[in-house]
Amino acid sequence: MVDDWTLPVIDLAPLAQGAEGRAQVAADLRAAFEDAGFLILINHGVSPELIERTFAEAKRFHAQSMEAKHAVLMNEHNNGYMALSRYNVHTSRVSEDAAKPDLNEAFFIKRERPADDPMIVENRRFGGRNEWPADLPGFREAVLDYTDTVDALARRMLPALAEALDMPDDFFDAAFAESQFSFRMSHYPKVAAREDGQYGIAPHTDANFLTFLAQSGVPGLQVRSPAGNWRDVPFVENSFVVNSGDMLHRWTNGRFKSTPHRALPPLDGERYAIPYFLGPHLDTTIACLPTCQGPDNPPRFPPLTYADYMAWWYDANYPHEEQGDLVDAAE
């Protein structure tokens, strides 16, 4: 049987046309997230120059010496440098027991906060300080410019997403006024050959609400089709690959899919990726939407806060202590 499943392409330009355009985008989002859980976003308003600059900053970070990268090791907030071949996701329904640690290294940040921010003062997990490299002038400013821009893009989409779920247009506004995002700058080294059980990132679903991945033109990302086949994500110039994660899946009682995907190690050169993982405020309670339940469709997931879910997920999959042997190299 031929598997002709493809990712839908959604044009965001109609959002500028008011209620009629928002309704069109809402219908497109509803169809995409109910069927594929993934889409390719065009006319999103993020400049190609900003995207290219951010890829360049990812390369600049990973081109540093190991000593420099170890100086900003991942902290208790899971911000900072994650060393090569340390982790993979164990908790996903598609996790593979035989999968080796992921063949990538990465640098993570979350929302940048001033010293007097209540999250900092109270030492809230995931609300703490970012780790910034000391010898990369302009790096911090460039990265924050990008995350601010993608955060604004995501918030522009929220009214259409709410409409797609038959909720008031402003339903998600409060939860995402101060979003809890995680931004990852990944480096996948070239391999001579692919081995069984070795991935750039092993099969998983994302834990967050929405993921925005600027496309680079370098292949590697694959999505699992409803038929169970792994399909390459097609390259569309100046686009984002957007997918719904486990939080949106829970919020919608499974109506919007959280689709398995993976990344293969590159054979023809190094690959860089800059996924932006959007989540709501840490104190947001994720509970089944009234439009996604009924007498014959009761809530499938108990309510929980995003902070509680994040703590469980990171502790199970990315415990920062597993880099403890690198601490001496960073001091």
CB-based burial, 246-284: b 16+ in 10 Å, e otherwise: bbbbbbbbebbbbbbbbbbbbeeeebbbbbbbbbbbbeb
Tokens of 330: 């960073």
Model pLDDT, residue 2:
56
pLDDT at 89 over 70: yes
Domains and CATH numbers, the chain: 9-330 (2.60.120.330)
Q: Are 200 and 104 in contact (CB under 8 A)?
A: yes
Q: Are 260 and 203 in contact (CB under 8 A)?
A: yes
pLDDT at 63 over 70: yes
Report the distance separating Cα 253 and Cα 245, nearest Å. 12
Model pLDDT, residue 323:
84
47-56, 120-129, 263-272, 316-325: least confidently modelled range: 316-325
Model pLDDT, residue 95:
86
Model pLDDT, residue 328:
58
Report the distance separating Cα 119 and Cα 105, nearest Å. 28
Q: Are 314 and 322 in contact (CB under 8 A)?
A: no
- Report DSSP state, residue 235: P
pLDDT at 4 over 90: no
Q: Are 37 and 244 in contact (CB under 8 A)?
A: yes
Residue 227, Cβ neighbours under 10 Å: how many?
11
pLDDT at 319 over 60: yes
Q: Let me know if 229 is exposed, middle or buried by CB neighbors in 10 A (0-12, 13-18, 19+).
A: exposed
Stretch 198-204: mean pLDDT: 94
pLDDT at 1 over 70: no
pLDDT at 90 over 90: no
Stretch 286-301: mean pLDDT: 97
11-15, 19-23, 98-102, 325-329: least confidently modelled range: 325-329
Stretch 123-130: mean pLDDT: 92
Provide the 3-class DSSP secondary structure of residue 185. strand
The string of pLDDT tens digits covering residues 209-239 is: 999 999 998 889 999 998 899 999 999 999 9
In terms of pLDDT, which residue wins out, 94 or 38? 38
Model pLDDT, residue 331:
53
Model pLDDT, residue 93:
86
The structure's pTM equals 0.96
Reported confidence tier of residue 3, pLDDT bands at 50, 70, 90: confident
Tokens of 176: 């995402």
Regarding beta strands 38-42 and 9-11, do their DSSP bridges make them parallel or antiparallel, or are they unpaired? Answer: parallel
Percentage of the chain modeled with pLDDT above 90? 85
Percentage of the chain modeled with pLDDT above 70? 98
- Look at the block and give the residue holding tokens 């540093």: 64
Mean pLDDT, all residues of the chain: 94
pLDDT at 67 over 60: yes
- Report DSSP state, residue 103: S
In terms of pLDDT, which residue wins out, 319 or 137? 137
The DSSP annotation for 236-254 comes to -TT-EEEEE-HHHHHHTTT
